[in-house]
Structure 1
């Protein structure tokens, strides 16, 4: 593999770097550095900054407003974004539902939904998991019964990211109980202002409000809001999940975290010296470096495959496992580095002064919050155990 970037790619890197240094909102970068939770206004302003450059839809076809970037340019842009400390786009609209709409939606649905997603004027949530249907998503029970030109929806979705901000939600609903569970699922889009929809917050263990529980009680949804065919939603969901699972790597962010860890080891004392001199902690750092290098090579191989025109497939499960386990490995090292200070953690991350504990280094609380947040990464988007089954069956072709 040739790991050198072309001159045109390096020129693009400088263009992206200049954008984050000169034109991206500085106050958002400050909040991210403090570990403060971003509100809806912050997220919308961030995405509109990308949109103003024509950079909000890196993965879309150009005919729908995509950037036309090569996969290498997408990789470089993400590197520069993470280097600057800027958030990525909220994935539910731009990365998840939009590819389903432009791939399987009608011309009218494309015209109706895609412009608002592209400009970030319309915020979306994803209604997949239920109290009894997480990794076993096919067991979902939220029902949609046809009544004339509407579906009547009843049920509950849970762990619904950003539903408290959302204008619309796309949901998997059960329209048939015949045959295999996967065969009776339909993909519906719903206006969150529709009567009968209730959102209740779930505060994460890291102190952030990202998650929610969403209740549907006799919610009437026009049939025209169905994407694709009735009872074919499982096929569209699988297509969406391959895009979701290839978006977890964040190699540049992890590299920056490792560099920060190594810097901090020279300042944190232990047994009369610093942790930089501690052979056990140094060994753990080396192991994390090797694992991160393996993740980066896997990502680059995936980029090479995409450059050849191959679509993301079941191999995305490999990336999902590697990326989320590396995230946990790095945040565990920060937690260990913080020692007893890590026990003193303020959970209300919406406050500007949330990280102002006197006498505690300012990197401690964000490190603890990141550690707690990454506990869920090996669960959401398909648990690690489920991904291993996918790899065994679909990649290794084991019986």
Structure 2
């Protein structure tokens, strides 16, 4: 298969590229080059800029603010966003929660939440995992008891991505403890600033803040915030997770990381010459580039309608492993200078002392932190061990 974009798609790519050049603020782009987790303010600003063009939620149906682009055009759009170091949109809100709401939610929920997500006004978290309920999600224990016009929620969620700057959380709760595990689960929309909600950060070994734990202590949630039907939360969760895994190949991110890796290798020296001239390194780099190209072909085949659309788990496994390979090779390219993690000092919260932290060359900032954080890619969104079981059952029919 030879990948060639037609004239229309090539023109579209140039249009998006020029838009990023003309509209992405320089300071936001600079922070994006280091690939730290984007500030909420940067994400919100960029989403508002995109919304002004009608581009903030290109994958949504047109009726709710989508663009009507083809799958290939949406891929090109994401490719150019990553190439230009633009912030990633509030992915949990735009890619995970919103599709559940416009597919299963009430008219009231759509009217209240979709515009705020589309414009970057309200950020979301996803309350699935609990201590003891990760891959075995059906064992979750957070309870929601109906009391008049409210549900009273008690429990504990963990590994909750970006909850430290989210406003709302899409939460799985157990509403019927006597039903079979999957049948007793419902989905609630909960205000993270409601009385009884406590957020605690979980500092990860990359010295960054991404995940959190959430405690619900008799939190009163209006019954109108129930998504769909009581007891149908497991169906909505599977719908959401399938969307998450379908996008988690993250080829545009990996391509951006590969370009950064080539830049590092052109600067770092080995035996008096640029590392990129080392035959062993070039071989390792070429293998990853070929694997990434193959994955890109697979994704584009699915998006163009010429491939099997039941391969979300397969794309997730290959994409997550490639992200780790690129990050690890970039850290290797830095040599002993990769020992310095170089955390994001512009973050809202930072544990690193500017004076005590060792110096890192500009092209090495964030590289080691990224390599460490990428260990999570094969776990979040459903661990790769679970995904391989799904592949065996649904694709190989074993």
TM interval, short-chain normalised: over 0.9
User: What TM-score does the superposition give when structure 1 sets the normalisation length?
Assistant: 0.92
Instruction: Write out per-residue CA displacement over residues 37-64 of structure 1, whole angstroms, 9 at most, x where no aligned residue.
Output: 4322112111111111100111111111
2: CA distance, partners of 1:97 / 1:328: 27
- Paired residue for 1:293? 293
Secondary structure of residue in 2 paired with 1:376: helix
Q: 1:34 Cα shift?
A: 3.4
Q: 1:36 Cα shift?
A: 4.6
Q: 1:27 Cα shift?
A: 1.5
| C-alpha contact 2:130 2:156 (8 A) present in aligned 1 | yes
Matches within 5 A, 1:1-399: 1=1, 3-305=3-305, 313=310, 315-350=311-346, 360-398=360-398
Q: 1:175 Cα shift?
A: 1.1
2: CA distance, partners of 1:167 / 1:261: 36
| C-alpha contact 2:125 2:168 (8 A) present in aligned 1 | yes
2: CA distance, partners of 1:358 / 1:222: 50
Farther-moved stretch of structure 1 (219-228 vs 262-271): 262-271
2: CA distance, partners of 1:90 / 1:249: 18
Secondary structure of residue in 2 paired with 1:331: helix
2: CA distance, partners of 1:55 / 1:48: 9
The answer for unaligned runs of 5 or more in structure 2 is none
Alpha-carbon RMSD across the aligned residues, in angstroms, is 2.2
The answer for unaligned runs of 5 or more in structure 1 is none
Q: 1:35 Cα shift?
A: 4.1
Give the 3 Å change call, closer, same or farther, for CA 13–348 of structure 1 in structure 2: closer
Farther-moved stretch of structure 1 (3-12 vs 373-382): 3-12
| C-alpha contact 2:342 2:366 (8 A) present in aligned 1 | no
2: CA distance, partners of 1:381 / 1:253: 16
2: CA distance, partners of 1:46 / 1:363: 25
Secondary structure of residue in 1 paired with 2:209: coil
User: What TM-score does the superposition give when structure 2 sets the normalisation length?
Assistant: 0.93
2: CA distance, partners of 1:196 / 1:100: 26
Q: 1:70 Cα shift?
A: 1.0
Number of residue-to-residue matches in the alignment:
394
Farther-moved stretch of structure 1 (5-14 vs 322-331): 5-14
| C-alpha contact 2:3 2:297 (8 A) present in aligned 1 | no
Q: 1:277 Cα shift?
A: 4.1
2: CA distance, partners of 1:134 / 1:144: 19
Q: 1:328 Cα shift?
A: 0.2
Give the 3 Å change call, closer, same or farther, for CA 302–129 of structure 1 in structure 2: same
| C-alpha contact 2:92 2:124 (8 A) present in aligned 1 | yes
Give the 3 Å change call, closer, same or farther, for CA 100–214 of structure 1 in structure 2: same
